[in-house]
């Protein structure tokens, strides 16, 4: 059923003298890292560590070359417009805040509308609410259908308001719903709006071409796609970035600093004030190499296989309810079991060595629409296999038994 066999590349999944075996089913929160990425980061610090774009000595040249190579890898991996349009950030959250604070402050005015969706993560909701409050603009949240898909009729209605920007995710972190971007993006552009896509849950799982999809701003995080924490990117149309003002000032983003005013560097430097996370970028580059070696289509096929296997196996458990659509979903499985609190489920599963997430998944508007406070969520990635699904299912059966005694 499943097609990849890469578990051995992930040291953390091996039992250790200090720690039990882990069945890791929380990759939507953060993925584990293969040896290849860990080695690349270690090697950077051992043989190339230096600041970038500043020194003329050999180490500085090596570090700068590696950092810029990573930018090229990102550009190619997500089908960006060109490498000038790739800004390294701490992750998705920072990339979205960059757009809201820079493009947003110059383009969203009093009386304008910003469209977001009820499927979005707080990272793609709160920055827009903050911007709207600052500028006197309105936020319009597009609804979801009962099975957890974006309500396209409501999106069309929202577009009639002629919003300045539509910000939405490609894949929902709480339900796994894959938004039909090829259908949606032309509608957004026809309405005269710019589109920002939160790619936190798509970049790790779905082959994406930002330029083919005609996306204006695409944000993602390296730590969810086998890379290190604290690195991610904003991938954007270079001509939009050229027009935008920087939102952070500091070293390396300037052309000339006068006593009272300064001029700014060209992109991408204009948006990378201060010392960047060079080791993180190098690790992200190694993660991209690793993903490319497997192939994004093979990854998607593998995850879809595991998801369907899990849906089938979990349907054997009476009282288990799965949230989200039947089709067009990534390897994320949100569920409830009887009336057992999701945190209790997570605790019982932890005793079996299974790591899942329980909570609102930073999607409170979505939880309200689902009529729940929280869900239990298992999410799958390259290193998961059939045996992990079986351990999850047995753990849930055990939880059911424990709580039926308690009732
Ligand atoms: N979702 C989850 O468990 P950062 O923290 O910046 O790397 O990513 C934020 C973010 C933005 N958008 C989506 C769709 C996301 O899933 C996330 C992170 C994690 O679902 C942590 S809440």
Is any atom of ligand 1 closer than 6 Å to the C-beta of 27?
no
Q: What's the pLDDT score for residue 129?
A: 98
**Ligand 1: which atom is nearest the Cα of residue 29?**
3
**Ligand 1: which atom is nearest the Cα of residue 174?**
20
The region, left, alpha or beta by phi > 0 then psi within -120 to 50, assigned to residue 110 is: beta
Q: What's the pLDDT score for residue 19?
A: 81
**Ligand 1: which atom is nearest the Cα of residue 198?**
12
Bridge partner residues of 218 (DSSP): 197, 235
The per-residue pLDDT for range 192-249, each reduced to its tens digit, is 999 999 999 999 999 999 999 999 999 999 999 999 999 999 999 999 999 999 999 9
Q: What's the pLDDT score for residue 1?
A: 56
Instruction: Among 26, 89, 173, name the best residue to mutate to test ligand 1's pocket (greatest count of ligand atoms within 8 A of Cβ).
Output: 173
Is any atom of ligand 1 closer than 6 Å to the C-beta of 123?
yes
Q: What's the pLDDT score for residue 406?
A: 67
Q: What's the pLDDT score for residue 117?
A: 99
List the catalytic residue out of 278, 362, 367, 393: 362
Q: What's the pLDDT score for residue 3?
A: 80
- Going by C-alpha positions, the residue among 209, 215, 122, 121 that lies closest to residue 173 is 121
Q: What's the pLDDT score for residue 407?
A: 65
Tell me if residue 394 is catalytic. Answer: no
Written out in words, the top-level CATH class of the domain with range 38-293 is: alpha beta
Written out in words, the top-level CATH class of the domain with range 7-30+295-406 is: alpha beta
Is any atom of ligand 1 closer than 6 Å to the C-beta of 28?
yes
Q: Which sign, positive or negative, has the C-alpha torsion 171, 177, 180, 184?
A: negative
* Cα-based distances in Å from 263 to 17, 123, 151: 56, 30, 45
The per-residue pLDDT for range 38-97, each reduced to its tens digit, is 999 999 999 999 999 988 899 999 999 999 999 999 999 999 999 999 999 999 999 999
Domain map of the chain by residue range?
7-30+295-406, 38-293
- DSSP states of 175-239 as a string? T-BBP-HHHHHHHHHHTT-EEEEE-TTTTTTS---TTTTT-SEEEEEGGGTTS-TT-EEEEE-HH
Q: Which residues of the chain have pLDDT under 70?
A: 1-2, 406-407
């Amino acid at each position: 059923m499943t097609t990849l066999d890469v578990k051995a590349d992930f040291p953390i999944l091996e039992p250790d003298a200090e720690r039990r075996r882990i069945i890791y089913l929380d990759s939507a929160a953060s993925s584990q890292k293969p040896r290849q990425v860990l080695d690349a980061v270690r090697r950077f610090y051992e043989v190339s560590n230096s600041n970038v774009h500043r020194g003329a000595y050999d180490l500085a040249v090596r570090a700068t070359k590696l950092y810029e190579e990573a930018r090229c890898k990102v550009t190619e991996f997500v089908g960006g417009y060109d490498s000038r349009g790739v800004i390294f950030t701490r992750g998705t959250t920072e990339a979205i805040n960059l757009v809201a604070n820079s493009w947003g402050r110059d383009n969203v005015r009093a009386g304008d509308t910003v469209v977001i969706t009820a499927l979005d993560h707080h990272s793609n909701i709160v920055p827009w609410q903050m911007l709207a409050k600052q500028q006197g603009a309105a936020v319009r949240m597009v609804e979801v259908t009962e099975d957890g898909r974006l309500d396209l009729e409501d999106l069309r209605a929202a577009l009639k308001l002629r919003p300045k920007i539509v910000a939405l995710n490609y894949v929902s972190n709480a339900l796994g719903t894959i938004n039909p971007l090829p259908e949606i993006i032309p509608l957004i552009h026809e309405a005269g709006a710019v589109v920002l896509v939160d790619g936190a849950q798509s970049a790790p799982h779905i082959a994406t071409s930002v330029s083919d999809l005609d996306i204006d701003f695409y944000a993602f995080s390296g730590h969810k796609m086998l890379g290190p924490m604290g690195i991610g990117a904003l991938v954007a149309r270079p001509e939009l970035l050229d027009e935008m003002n920087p939102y952070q000032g500091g070293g390396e983003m300037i052309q000339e600093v006068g006593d009272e005013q300064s001029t700014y560097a060209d992109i991408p430097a204009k948006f990378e004030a201060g010392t960047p996370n060079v080791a993180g970028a190098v690790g992200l580059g190694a993660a991209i190499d690793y993903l490319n070696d497997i192939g994004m289509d093979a990854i998607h096929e593998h995850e879809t296989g595991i998801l369907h296997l899990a849906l089938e196996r979990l349907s054997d458990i009476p009282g288990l309810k799965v949230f989200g659509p039947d089709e067009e979903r990534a390897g994320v499985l949100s569920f409830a079991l009887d009336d057992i609190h999701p945190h209790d489920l997570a605790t019982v599963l932890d005793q079996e060595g299974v790591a899942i997430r329980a909570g609102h998944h930073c999607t409170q508007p979505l939880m309200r629409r689902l009529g729940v406070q929280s869900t239990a969520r298992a999410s799958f990635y390259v290193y998961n296999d059939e045996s992990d699904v079986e351990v999850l299912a047995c753990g849930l059966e055990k939880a059911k038994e424990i709580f039926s005694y308690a009732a």
